[in-house]
Amino acid sequence: MIFYQPTAVVDKGLTVAALPRERRDTAFGAVLTQVIMIAVIVTLAATVFTHGLRPTLNTVGDIAGAVTPFLGGMPAKVLIGAAVLGGALVAALVVSLAGSWGVADVMGWKHSLNSRIDRTNGKFYTVYALAHVLGAVVVLSAVDLVALAVDVEVMNAVLLPIVLGFLLALEVRALPEEHRMRGVYRWIVWSLCGVVMAFGLYMVPVSLLPH
């Protein structure tokens, strides 16, 4: 999302007047997704992992089966299926598009979604399509998707200090003076970023040490 957001703002042609609306949309989306995540974790902890149970959750079917005794067969399938589908659609759009935009930026390719596919932006759309194809190949292969998802999240936590560090540096050095953070708001943002970066660095030895 950190890489996706700025390029999406530029690609949509938003002006400074649209910044307040974009900030509200971003804040609402961030809070909503975290509330959903916390609700799912708490629900699983209060049901599936009670009474000393340690079910194996290696597939989406395993997760649905684990909550079946508490929700029923069909509700469990619908709820878990909808959750995974929602996450998959977000990933298919945001992750692949952010990566494709990043590659196009580095290579100097034209990469606007507002333009029709032609020779000037064909390379960008090729990378974008390949991201989906390769993702589908991984999903349809015999890879443990749950373990892969956990590994990706660990990698994300490890890399987050670098990403946030550069983002804060850009805010200080690249943003026009009138758009830079000020006062209490700046200290809050820097403090929260510091906490997140500290947890990311903490994950390095934790993820490497044998369990």
Question: 0.85 exceeded by the pTM?
Answer: no
Q: What are phi and psi of 84, to 5 degrees?
A: -65, -40
The string of DSSP letters for 40-82 reads HHHHHHHHTT-TT------SHHHHHHHHHHHH-HHHHHHHHHH
pLDDT value for 210 = 61
Q: Is the pLDDT of residue 207 over 70?
A: no
Category of 110 on φ-ψ map: left (φ > 0), alpha (ψ -120 to 50) or beta: beta
pLDDT value for 184 = 94
Band (88; pLDDT cuts 50, 70, 90): confident
pLDDT per residue as tens digits for the range 142-173? 777 777 777 887 788 788 888 888 889 988 88
Q: DSSP H helical segments within the chain, as ranges?
A: 4-11, 19-47, 60-71, 73-90, 96-107, 122-140, 145-173, 183-208
Determine the Cα–Cα distance for residues 66 and 173; give it in Å rounded to an integer: 50
Contact present, 197 and 161 (Cβ < 8 Å): yes
Could you tell me the sign of the dihedral formed by the alpha carbons of 133, 135, 137, 139, in that order? negative
From the list 66, 102, 207, the residue with the least C-alpha distance to 150 is: 207
Q: Is the pLDDT of residue 108 over 90?
A: no
Joined tokens for residue 59: 């597939």
pLDDT per residue as tens digits for the range 170-191? 888 888 888 888 899 999 999 9
Joined tokens for residue 27: 């804040």
DSSP letter for 12, please: T
Three-class DSSP category at 9? helix
